[in-house]
Chains A and B, each alone.
Chain A
Amino acid sequence: DTGVSQDPRHKITKRGQNVTFRCDPISEHNRLYWYRQTLGQGPEFLTYFQNEAQLEKSRLLSDRFSAERPKGSFSTLEIQRTEQGDSAMYLCATKGTGLYGYTFGSGTRLTVV
């Protein structure tokens, strides 16, 4: 397990549909983060898990967004009733305890049409 995997890499959906993204972390990393990156901007923090517990959610995470990390392994991010403003790159990152290095996945690029 050499890195953080995200699936799918690209997703095109119609406005109003639900979408779900998956992140598979580095196995020994207990912290998992979701970020959203819109065009021309840096990533913005969305939410954070330590093992299976969701410890923090950004105000950016509206009630249409939900994230889970069952059993403290992979995580899913679901967006319900997608809007055009949800079009962005969704990045997952993981981190081991005591380490400063966050390892990012390649992201899922969402386009809402």
Chain B
Amino acid sequence: AQKITQTQPGMFVQEKEAVTLDCTYDTSDQSYGLFWYKQPSSGEMIFLIYQGSYDEQNATEGRYSLNFQKARKSANLVISASQLGDSAMYFCAMSPRLYSGGGADGLTFGKGTHLIIQP
């Protein structure tokens, strides 16, 4: 079974500062994928960034980067130069395999971190 732990229920950050959202995971799988999603108050889940378990380099997507430390089983999200529009819930999630070659691959989510960016 897979498990995601997000230990920060809420965070307040000043605009333009960098912010790190913590995520640790537990799995017995050798191949897995790690995801971060943003959920604004409107409810939709917006994909931010993905890291495969065999990827040696940390993933980056614009202002988002994923600090992947496999030995520690952590996959922290770093947002550089935060903006007011970054205020939302952020969820870390994992899938049981890198690609959907077959079989179930539903995502397992953490409980989320509520990020509030202050002007």
Q: Which residues of A contact B (CB under 8 A)?
A: 31, 33, 35, 40-45, 48, 55-56, 58, 89, 91, 93, 95, 97-107, 109
Q: How far is the CA of A45 from the CA of B95 in the complex (A)?
A: 11
Instruction: Give the shortest distance, in Å, between A5 (CB) and chain B (any CB).
Output: 11
B107 touches A55 (CB 8 A): no
B45 touches A91 (CB 8 A): yes
Contacts A42-B111, A106-B42; A100 near B91 (Cβ below 8 A): no
Q: Can you report 25 residue pairs joining A to B where beta carbons are below 8 Å apart?
A: A33-B106, A35-B107, A40-B111, A42-B111, A42-B112, A43-B109, A44-B109, A45-B106, A55-B103, A56-B104, A58-B106, A93-B45, A93-B107, A95-B105, A97-B100, A99-B100, A100-B35, A100-B50, A100-B98, A100-B99, A101-B47, A102-B35, A103-B47, A104-B44, A107-B43
Q: How far is the CA of A97 from the CA of B43 in the complex (A)?
A: 25
A56 touches B100 (CB 8 A): no
Closest to A98 in B: B99
Contacts A42-B112, A97-B100; A56 near B106 (Cβ below 8 A): yes
Cβ of B99: which chain A residues have Cβ within 8 Å of it? Answer: 98-100
Q: How far is the CA of A42 from the CA of B9 in the complex (A)?
A: 12
Contact size class for B?
20 to 34
A107 touches B112 (CB 8 A): no
Within 8 A of A (CB), among B78-119: 91, 93, 95, 98-100, 103-112
Closest to A41 in B: B111
Closest to A58 in B: B106
Set A45, A98, A99, A109: member contacting B43, Cβ < 8 A? A109
Instruction: Give the shortest distance, in Å, between B37 (CB) and chain A (any CB).
Output: 8
Listed residue (A33, A42, A56, A101) with the most chain B CB atoms within 10 angstroms of its CB: A42
Closest to A97 in B: B100
Cβ of A100: which chain B residues have Cβ within 8 Å of it? Answer: 33, 35, 50, 52, 95, 98-99
Set A42, A56, A58, A102: member contacting B47, Cβ < 8 A? A102
